[in-house]
Amino acid sequence: MTNPISNVLKSEVILAIGTNTTDNHPIIANYMMEAIHQHGVELLVADPRRIELVDYATLWLRHNPGSDVALINGLMHIIIKENLQDQAYIDERMEGFEELKSCVEKYTPEYVSSITGISEEDLHAAARLYAKADPAAILYTMGITQHITGTDNVKSCANLAMLCGNVGKEGGGVNPLRGQNNVQGACDMGGLPNVFPGYQAVTVDEARKKFADAWQVEGFPSTPGLTVTEMFSGGETGQVKAIYVMGENPVLSDPDKHHIEKGIEGLEFFVVQDIFLTETAKLADVVLPATCFAEKNGTVVNTERKVQRVRKAVEPPGEAREDTWIISEISRRMGYTMPATTPEKIMEEIRLLTPSYKGITYKRIEKGGISWPCPDEDHPGTPVLHVGKFARGKGLFFAIDYIPPAEPVDDEYPFLLSTGRNYPHFHTGTMTRRGTGLNRLCPEPVAEINPDDAEKLNISDGEYIDITSRRGSIKVKVRLTERSKLGMVFMPFHFHEASANILTHSIVDPVAKIPEFKVSAVKIKKAA
């Protein structure tokens, strides 16, 4: 996030695109409700489903799944045509405006309406609402990223924000809401195949030498490693011999379940480190019992880049051990003794090796978090990024064309499946489905389809249906609801009994390698 969560209270308009915030980020949604009801902030929602946020929106753009680039290009076309862009900001801080202007020239309201399904009138209204706000914030989640054009979608959001001068400004910005509590921290610490901690690229000689010297090891390879989706493909082909999974359940969360299972079958050795025996752990050669968040000390980094303390509240059960202990003990037995093993020592190492964390110490975050970058111990942290200038100097517009989803509907598979989360449950249900209260709220998987589609298929509410894709088929109870667009079916992926990822395809964004969970072609019939 370029801006802190509370900044929505300082916005004039919030554009929520591809985010079901009330279900997936309810605390952030509370801030949005406060902004709307107490500060008069207007809400612009862009989502194919009639999510709860629509009830509070000034305007709802119900675009076709996978048409985000066309939609945003269409808004920018109108903004430029009506001279609503922040030209002074563009002239002072941006590069590539003419290229962007040329790119969006063909995205007329008529053309964009034909792709997105949004009326020309609503496109004009949305463009004017966003452009005239000072400031306006963009919030998005996996409804933007989980497409084969996920990277393009994110860049398009940035284009729109910069076009109207909303980056580097309180109440503005481009704000991805992270899917889990420490996703940001995992990325910051090098949990990506192409960087060391602090996003220091493995392809840079100086970075490799820096970490090799600090960790007292021989030089590192200069080529990036594999992403998660590539790892399991590598298991299937024999390229990857072993995988070590920590706190993740890819058998339910990754696309094309059968493909993931084949990838695991092809491995010579498979290890899972988790707090419960997940669907993935059941397939492991070795399961290492880890501790949960309340059983260890350390830090997490939340969605707004704020480094915060985690404090041990209870002792771990049985043979469960802290992740740090497990990793360092395996390392020791393999012949390398890690120099830093306590949370305090690890935090000290982090700040010495990661420039953006240099000023963040355990002592400083004892009573409150600090947002990176924080270059020294006297620095207060940086809640808002890119104030005055961008990290690269001038900001860069990207000229991006619309690319349709990888698997469009056809006569055989006439429905679009989109997957996501329900409010009571979290991710693959590893923790939340073990809670009695939450299971009362959401006890079983349900597929949502539009009542008009159900009538054509002679399907009644509460009946069971078969949903089939080119990968497989599942049987699931149906709920008839106007939340689903005509021709669309929505399913949560929390439930192993009706695993939605049996249906989803494994084609990924070519840059980020993120699967297209939001658009898969399926067919539906009443179950026998």
pLDDT in tens, 410-424: 999 999 999 888 777
- Listed in order, the ranges of the chain carrying CATH 2.40.40.20 are 415-526
Q: Is the pLDDT of residue 239 over 90?
A: yes
DSSP conformation class of 10: G
Checking 185-190 for CB contacts under 8 A at 24+ apart, the result is 185/299, 185/300, 185/301, 185/307, 188/301, 188/354, 188/356, 188/357, 188/372, 189/350
pTM for the whole structure: 0.92
Widest Cα–Cα separation across the chain: 68
CATH 1.10.340.30, applies to 415-526 = no
pLDDT tens digits for range 193-208 = 999 999 999 999 999 9
pLDDT tens digits for range 65-87 = 999 999 999 999 999 999 999 99
pLDDT confidence tier of residue 171, bands split at 50, 70 and 90? very high
Name the helix (H) or strand (E) containing 477: strand 473-480
The pLDDT value given to residue 484: 94
Residue 437 neighbours by CB under 8 Å, 6+ apart = none
One-letter amino acid for residue 129 of the chain: L
* Cα 439 to Cα 434: distance, rounded to the nearest angstrom: 8
Q: What is the mean pLDDT of residues 279-283?
A: 94
Q: Is the pLDDT of residue 360 over 90?
A: yes
The pLDDT value given to residue 500: 86
pLDDT confidence tier of residue 429, bands split at 50, 70 and 90? confident
Share of the chain above pLDDT 70, in %: 100
**What angle do the packed helices 120-131 and 68-81 form, to 10 degrees?**
70
Fold of 183-371: Rossmann fold (3.40.50)
pLDDT confidence tier of residue 54, bands split at 50, 70 and 90? very high
The pLDDT value given to residue 440: 86
Residue 187 neighbours by CB under 8 Å, 6+ apart = 199
- Listed in order, the ranges of the chain carrying CATH 3.40.50.740 are 183-371
One-letter amino acid for residue 267 of the chain: L
The pLDDT value given to residue 425: 77
* Cα 150 to Cα 156: distance, rounded to the nearest angstrom: 10
The pLDDT value given to residue 507: 86
Q: Is the pLDDT of residue 380 over 80?
A: yes
Given 1.25.40.10, 3.40.228.10, 3.30.930.10, 3.40.50.300, which CATH number is that of 5-177? 3.40.228.10
pLDDT confidence tier of residue 88, bands split at 50, 70 and 90? very high
Q: Which two tokens stand for residue 510?
A: 């070519």
**Mean pLDDT for the chain overall:** 93
pLDDT tens digits for range 298-343 = 999 999 999 999 999 999 999 999 999 999 999 999 999 987 788 8
**How many residues comprise the chain?**
528
DSSP conformation class of 217: -
- Listed in order, the ranges of the chain carrying CATH 3.40.228.10 are 5-177
Q: Is the pLDDT of residue 58 over 90?
A: yes
DSSP conformation class of 63: P
One-letter amino acid for residue 275 of the chain: I
